[in-house]
Structure 1
């Protein structure tokens, strides 16, 4: 798991892991890890989350707006 940079210092995310068809995100309040996959969230959303994770900004907001309940169960 890589540490999320959180350039603005306002994210609820502490880490992420990127795979070919998924991203795993760890949140700071519960420290739970959620997996968003092509199957559960769709390729476009997962690829955008990967981009945001690498950039260190906007991932938490994106998940809240577009992928909040789209994690693997």
Structure 2
């Protein structure tokens, strides 16, 4: 993971390959988004969490 951007009900994540995915409460669930935001702010574990728990539950691929 290279970068992230937090939103009120969402998080967008840029991965090492340059792809950017938007995860929302509607697509991944409220608990997952809250957990992803906490991991992002902590600076570790976000990519692993995505791969294990919300992999394909993104709202859209932005890039």
TM-score by length of 1: 0.80
Q: Does 1:38 align with 2:25?
A: yes
- Paired residues for 1:24-63 under 5 Å: 24-29=12-17, 31-63=18-50
Which of the pair has the greater relative contact order for Cα pairs under 8 Å at 6+ separation?
2
Partner Cα distance (2:16, 2:45) in 1: 15
Q: RMSD between aligned alpha carbons?
A: 0.6
Q: Does 1:67 align with 2:57?
A: no
What 5-or-longer segments of structure 1 have no aligned partner?
Answer: 1-12
Partner Cα distance (1:18, 1:53) in 2: 9
Bigger radius of gyration, 1 or 2? 1
TM-score by length of 2: 0.92
| Runs of 4 or more above 3 Å deviation | none
